[in-house]
Amino acid sequence: MKHKAYMNYSKISGILDKAASIAKPVEQVSSYRNINLEEAYGIQCLSIGRRYKRAERFVGIKLGFTSKAKMEQMGVHDLIWGRLTDRMQYLANEKMDRSQFIHPRAEPEVAFLLKKPIDKVLDRESAKEYIESVCIAIEVIDSRYKNFKFSLEDVVADNCSSAGFILGEWLSPDVDYHNSEIELWVNDELKQKGNTSAILGDPLESFLEASRMIMESDEDIDAGDIVLAGAATAAEYIDSGMKVEAKSPQLGSVILDID
Ligand code: OOG
Ligand code: MG
């Protein structure tokens, strides 16, 4: 085999996709190949393309590192975005199969449901026409890299650690999701406590950033698609037999049980 420094993007995307498929961690891309951010997004696109070929469907996007808590936990300080597919979504009462993950972590988030396709960079006023509903969510992240360690480029190439998510009940965007307490409970024990305003000052700002990132990319995002705004607190390791719950006085609660 050629030295890994010459490995092409398609091959790298295959390594990351396989690591996710068989739940076995791999070396960081940056340990063998110098890539910039644009190349990292290119690799993400190729790797997600492999999922589409297996009939997974694009259902939306997620933003990462929109809160200080997350940036500090992971040592990465720039906004990133990744793609969500239908296979990553858990429906109410559906259990997460631990064996399909490497070292999963859960984090409490806010999600948006799109009313119409994003066709421009939005501001706070124009965004209103684009948001059908909001809800509380749990995102499950599972870096494909050993020890959950990565650079900004590494994590972008790895589709921003996206692995799973579950949504609470959709609510009117008139509820105060902008500044609401939010907690993460594991087995009825409080693990993380924060406020949705930790997400870029207001999760709506994250939605605006999503519109900017989508307009800069060649991805289309349509009515019915989802935007995950990013975690309000640090993430917690989760494991078999655990019950994970995100809750908020304004947004209600959502539970994910792990098999
Ligand atoms: C990257 C994903 C970050 C968030 O909500 O900030 C993220 C990671 O922490 O592995 O999903
Ligand atoms: Mg997240």
Q: Which of 244, 258, 234, 239 is nearest to 103 (CA)?
A: 239
What is the whole-number distance in angstroms between the Cα of residue 2 and the centre of ligand 2?
Answer: 35
Place of tokens 């092409």: 8
What is the whole-number distance in angstroms between the Cα of residue 73 and the centre of ligand 2?
Answer: 12
What pLDDT score does 218 carry?
A: 85
* Residues 29 and 12 sit within 8 Å (Cβ to Cβ): yes
What pLDDT score does 89 carry?
A: 98
Give the whole-angstrom CA distance, residue 52 versus residue 17.
11
What residues are in contact with ligand 1 under a 6 Å CB criterion?
A: 62, 64-66, 70, 74, 107, 139, 141, 143, 155, 160-161, 230-231
Helix, strand and coil in the chain, % to nearest 5:
35, 30, 35
What is the whole-number distance in angstroms between the Cα of residue 81 and the centre of ligand 1?
Answer: 9
The CATH architecture annotation of domain 4-257 reads Alpha-Beta Complex (3.90)
Beta bridge partners of 64: 80
Per-domain boundaries in the chain: 4-257
Single-letter residue type at 18: K
Q: Which of 143, 166, 150 is nearest to 59 (CA)?
A: 166
One pLDDT digit (tens) per residue for the chain, 259 residues = 456 777 899 999 999 999 999 999 999 999 999 999 999 999 999 999 999 999 999 999 999 999 999 999 999 989 999 999 999 999 999 999 999 999 999 999 999 999 999 999 999 999 999 999 999 999 999 999 999 999 999 999 999 999 999 999 999 999 999 999 999 999 999 999 999 999 999 999 999 999 999 999 989 999 999 999 999 999 999 999 999 999 999 999 999 999 9
**Residue 114 structure tokens:** 């799109």
* Residues 115 and 223 sit within 8 Å (Cβ to Cβ): yes
